[in-house]
């Protein structure tokens, strides 16, 4: 066992791991700061530390297991994802109108965070098995695989996580070689889905979209969160007020400061300089993933890497965007920053899978690999 762990460590992508640790440390510092003036939230930081410990155990485990195992278990993985979403609807805990948590003693588990990554494995396995070029039939099958997961997530309802599932679906299909007419067909499908879907939006979802377009229309109502977030970011100035000294966050003007709007809370205390540092680290992290993906030697591995990249990239852009008023508030966490053990553990598990894929760098390519994925 120890020899196995040594082999894993020897082939570790140190840059990716260092970037992960850097982002995690800033996130923990920001979370600790937000809990200083909130006695009712004093246990958030210790609970996040427990998530860090569990996450690193799973990270190391995921890095040690050969990635091909995930492909061989893809059908079971998909069924587990569906079962988790059914279970949470039947037995889940409802928080602020969303039935999305399973409670185990003092621990809360949010299944949809695991489902995001299980979906990557399942869809990547199907597309790698089906092979290029992407046809209408293969697109239909991929869409039928998405439908149960998306329907169950929207039933919670969790629009933000449902959006991530759709993003993974779209990005992985786009990564496959395909005829030009496929883009025309998908463009028409997207237009129809958006037009039809707009009629099924609930009032609060329409309100969020209208607030995104004009947050000042209801600054004390639906636009309150975004307005306070922008005020907090502006109050930080260039260097920030210092950890624990942000007035918007410490005096509770900024809502959801430890989850959806933790980026605004950190910028108030660390300023523009701190914000630029965070953005640079995220760009370096995502850039490293691109570097890694371009060196992989297997269809399935490439698709898994692209899928994980799409989750991180979309959640970072949407979360930071809604903190800046540049994206609608859809309730998505900022990976490694926002409070939530489920999100944190699964993000670290994803890094473990990426480290596993990194071990394939430099190996001889299989006969059916590399040329089959257009990237």
**How many domains, the chain?**
1
Res 197: pLDDT: 65
Res 374: pLDDT: 47
The phi and psi torsions of 102 (rounded to 5 degrees) equal: -105, 135
Q: What is the CA radius of gyration of the chain?
A: 21
DSSP class per residue in 3-50 = HHHHHHHHT--HHHHHHHHHHHHHHHHHHHHHTTT-GGGTTHHHHHHH
373 in any annotated domain: no
Q: Is the pLDDT of residue 368 over 70?
A: no
Range of the domain at 322: 14-358
- pLDDT tens figures, 152-206: 999 998 889 999 999 999 999 999 988 888 888 888 877 777 776 666 666 666 6
Q: How far apart are CA 208 and CA 234, in angstroms?
A: 22
Cis peptide before 157 (omega within 30 of 0): yes
* Region of poorest pLDDT, from 42-56, 96-110, 172-186, 217-231: 217-231
- Tell me if 165 sits within 8 A of 153, measured CB to CB: yes
State what percent of residues in the chain have pLDDT above 70.
83
- Tell me if 220 sits within 8 A of 228, measured CB to CB: no
Q: How far apart are CA 307 and CA 32, in angstroms?
A: 31
* Region of poorest pLDDT, from 1-10, 166-175, 286-295, 306-315: 1-10
Q: Which residue has the higher pLDDT, 200 or 13?
A: 13
3 in any annotated domain: no
Q: Give SS3 for 108.
A: strand
State what percent of residues in the chain have pLDDT above 90.
45
Q: At what angle do helices 299-323 and 111-130 cross, to 10 degrees?
A: 140
- Of 353, 367, 374, 372, the closest CA to residue 13 belongs to 353
375 in any annotated domain: no
366 in any annotated domain: no
| CB neighbour burial string for 304-314, b if at least 16 within 10 angstroms, e if fewer | bbbbbbbbbbb
Residue 372: exposed, middle, or buried by beta-carbon count in 10 A (0-12, 13-18, 19+)?
middle
Tokens standing for 76?
Answer: 């079971």
Residues 6+ apart with CB under 8 A from 314: 163, 164, 167
- pLDDT tens figures, 303-355: 999 999 999 999 999 999 999 888 888 888 999 999 988 999 999 999 999 99
Cis peptide before 133 (omega within 30 of 0): yes
Q: Which residue has the higher pLDDT, 247 or 29?
A: 29
367 in any annotated domain: no
Please provide the average confidence, as pLDDT, over all residues in the chain. 84
83 in any annotated domain: yes
- Of 170, 168, 195, 196, the closest CA to residue 182 belongs to 170
Q: How far apart are CA 12 and CA 356, in angstroms?
A: 8
311 in any annotated domain: yes
Q: How far apart are CA 364 and CA 336, in angstroms?
A: 34
364 in any annotated domain: no
Q: Is the pLDDT of residue 228 over 50?
A: yes
Q: Strand 107-109 and strand 98-104: pairing?
A: antiparallel
The whole-number average pLDDT for the span 118-140 is 93
- pLDDT tens figures, 67-125: 888 888 989 999 999 999 999 999 888 877 788 888 876 678 899 999 999 999 999 99
């Amino acid at each position: 066992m120890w020899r196995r762990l040594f082999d894993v460590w020897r082939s570790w992508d140190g840059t990716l791991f260092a970037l992960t640790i850097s982002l995690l440390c800033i996130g923990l510092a920001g979370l600790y700061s937000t809990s200083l003036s909130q006695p009712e939230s004093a246990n958030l930081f210790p609970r996040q530390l427990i998530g860090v410990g569990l996450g690193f155990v799973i990270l190391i485990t995921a890095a040690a297991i050969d990635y091909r195992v995930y492909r061989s278990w893809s059908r079971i993985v998909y069924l587990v994802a569906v079962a988790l979403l059914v279970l949470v609807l039947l037995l889940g805990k409802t928080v602020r109108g969303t039935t999305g948590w399973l409670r185990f003693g003092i621990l809360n588990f949010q299944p949809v965070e695991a489902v995001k990554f299980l979906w990557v494995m399942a869809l990547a396995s199907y597309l790698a098995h089906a092979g290029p070029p992407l046809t209408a039939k293969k697109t239909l099958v991929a869409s039928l695989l998405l439908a149960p997961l998306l329907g169950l997530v929207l039933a919670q309802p969790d629009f933000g996580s449902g959006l991530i599932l759709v993003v993974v679906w779209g990005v992985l299909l786009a990564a496959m070689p395909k005829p030009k007419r496929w883009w025309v067909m998908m463009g028409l499908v997207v237009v129809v889905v958006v037009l039809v879907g707009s009629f099924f939006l609930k009032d609060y979802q329409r309100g969020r979209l209208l607030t995104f377009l004009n947050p000042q229309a209801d600054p004390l109502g639906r636009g309150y969160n975004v307005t306070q977030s922008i005020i907090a970011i502006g109050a930080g100035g260039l260097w920030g007020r210092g950890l624990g000294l942000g007035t918007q966050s410490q005096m509770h003007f900024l809502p959801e400061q430890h989850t959806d709007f933790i980026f605004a809370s950190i910028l108030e205390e660390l300023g523009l300089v701190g914000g630029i540092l965070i953005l640079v680290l995220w760009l370096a992290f995502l850039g490293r993933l691109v570097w890694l993906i371009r060196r992989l030697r297997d269809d399935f591995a490439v698709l898994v890497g692209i899928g994980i990249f799409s989750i991180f990239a979309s959640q970072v852009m949407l979360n930071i965007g809604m903190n800046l008023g540049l994206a609608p508030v859809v309730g998505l966490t900022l990976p490694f920053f926002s409070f939530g053990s489920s999100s944190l553990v699964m993000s670290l598990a994803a890094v473990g899978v990426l480290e596993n894929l990194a071990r394939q760098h430099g190996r001889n390519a299989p006969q059916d690999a590399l040329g089959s994925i257009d990237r």
